Structure 1
């Protein structure tokens, strides 16, 4: 008989205990009294005090449904070949897809998704690298041909004719105020009041300058006033004539003979007016591959140990 009673007790389900708690609640028993009663009769099977309290609160609020609310269940953490292929298809169709979107589409846990991405597919998410222009095959080959011609013409840089290359470009020169208060500290007498300074914009002034130089140093810097745009008219009537005059003063015997101008393919540099000036003055030019703004500095003959400094209101090449 005792074994049958023990077996019947072991057959009690969660719903049986919930019904028992409801009956005792209807008999106006307290939650502690219900818990102690269950522990007395079912010491090994009775629910915990927190479970009794949870159901007691439900009954107080009028919820007498003896079943748990439906739940989504534990996330699916298993993965197989099908889920791996599904993940591969998702990231192939949309390389920018996020973890949250992958969880929604596959109904897998974030941990499983992480394992599939890094262990199964061996992929990682990286930020795109910014480049100024995407070169096509022809443009890349044009760069290679240009470099081969330059290496052969100037004996890989050992030829003295490298000094005949005149190169440069236009750039904005910005004037900055000190960034922090510490940078504006100064020594004053003990009783003297602190000095004051106006709070201005970070860049209070900027000026466009065309800077042209050779391997020996700067030839000329030409300022473009009033923040105007560089045009063929300014480049052909102001900038280049000033540069040519400076070169002729530096090379009294030869002038611009032998000088090779290398500038990029900006519209002001390739305009008809500019080409006419170069042809009339006799100033020869070097070709420039398309979308290669880095080449003017590279072909100037300046080594990596050369720095451009602003000294005494002028720009100079300084050997490091």
Structure 2
């Protein structure tokens, strides 16, 4: 600092003897060598002294102090965040008249906080539904503990739309590029109106039965009963070892719980396993089969409904026994995760 002040005095003297800025800088270089200030600084001070400035010291700076991580400021940041968890670092900085860097250090280092987005879930579960999820998970886990082969007799299924075009996800469109490569762009697109509804049932060995709902047809209780009749016939043909003891797992959609369906299941002596509502994380079709199918279909165009159906059928046939065994093992582990989470959702959607 002292050598800087000394050079400013030298510049002030050169101004008084009518030296130009260039001449002044050359003299400073000759006198101070590597310790000489830059030409831009010398030119700035030469101009200031020429315009009448007398003081060679820096002016007092107004504004924020450089170091402000005091206990009082930490408390103020904590109080503001407690009042509004969505406040940005910029807003905190403006409210407290502190540098953004200091606010960020207080939030991350002193308070140990980080900003996270809300997790998307099917619904915000009330306590009653959390309790139901917890009870079902405990019940299913107990049945598997009492009978290790319990899930070998379970057939699970559901229905889902398959679209002629379903946009690929942002993650699916990611590509490897160098830092010099421009970022790829893609147009925002929506799902097509051309679609076909798939109904599929599977067990630990693979797909037992699948079919597509005819165009314009609605899945009602009566329609779903006919689907179950075809499923039961299929079980008799391809799963003879469980034809008299198989159990059905499906969700709580109105057609699934209609009187005609429950009456039919009672008639053929098939028990329906409990499935808590709004729980795709506990349903194998939702956490395994449909995501796996649609991941292969996303980002591709299919000409007709028939092409959609044939492609989907081919994908179903391509799944291995190990895929289905892994899904049922995952089902078991998810019950424990639900129990550990006390009935709350335990994964992202």
Same fold (TM over 0.5): yes
| Distance in structure 2 (CA, Å) of the matches to 1:125 and 1:313 | 40
Return the alpha-carbon distance in structure 1 between the equivalents of residues 239 and 223 of structure 2: 22
Higher RCO, 1 or 2 (CA under 8 Å, sep at least 6)? 2
1:267 shift after superposition: 2.6
1:190 corresponds to: none
Query: Which residue pairs with 1:259 in the alignment?
Result: 246
* Structure 1 residue corresponding to 2:135, chosen from 135, 145, 153: 145
2:224 alignment partner in structure 1: 236
Alignment: residue pair count: 267
Q: Give how far 1:237 is off.
A: 4.8
Aligned to 1:295: 282
Give the structure with the higher percent strand: 1
Partner residue in 2 for 1:166: 155
User: Is residue 269 of structure 1 aligned with residue 256 of structure 2?
Assistant: yes
Residue 283 of structure 1 pairs with residue 273 of structure 2: no
User: Which deviates more, 289-298 or 82-91?
Assistant: 289-298
1:224 pairs with 2:213 = yes
Asked if 1:112 corresponds to 2:120, the answer is no
Q: Flag the 1:287–1:237 CA change in 2: closer, same or farther, 3 A.
A: closer
| Distance (whole Å) between structure 1 residues aligned to residue 46 and residue 228 of structure 2 | 92
Extract unaligned runs of 5+ from structure 2. Answer: 1-8, 27-36, 174-188, 297-311, 323-349
Residue 189 of structure 1 is matched in structure 2 by: none
- Give TM-score scaled by structure 2 length: 0.56
Specify the SS of the correspondent of 2:320. strand
Which structure has greater helix proportion?
Answer: 2
1:87 Cα offset (Å): 0.4
Are the aligned partners of 1:264 and 1:293 in contact in 2 as well (CA < 8 Å)?
no
Given that residues 222 and 260 in structure 2 are in contact (C-alpha distance below 8 angstroms), is that contact kept between their aligned partners in structure 1?
no
When Rg is computed on C-alpha atoms for both structures, the one with the higher figure is 1
User: CA separation of 1:263/1:253 partners in 2, compared to 1, >3 Å: closer, same or farther?
Assistant: closer
Q: Could you tell me how far apart the structure 2 residues matched to 1:203 and 1:84 are?
A: 49
8 Å CA contact 1:175–1:206 kept in 2: the answer is: yes
Q: Distance in 2 between matches of 1:266 and 1:222?
A: 18
Residues 210 and 315 from structure 1, CA distance in 2 versus in 1: closer, same or farther, beyond 3 angstroms?
A: farther
Distance 2:222 2:48 in 1: 85
Aligned equivalents of 1:263, 1:316: Cα separation in 2: 23
CA distance in 2, matches of 1:55, 1:313: 76
> 1:210–1:222: 8 Å Cα contact kept in structure 2?
yes
Consecutive unaligned residues in structure 1, runs of 5 or more: 1-15, 37-46, 181-200
User: Corresponding residue for 1:91?
Assistant: 81
TM-score scaled by structure 1? 0.60
CA RMSD of aligned residues (A): 4.9
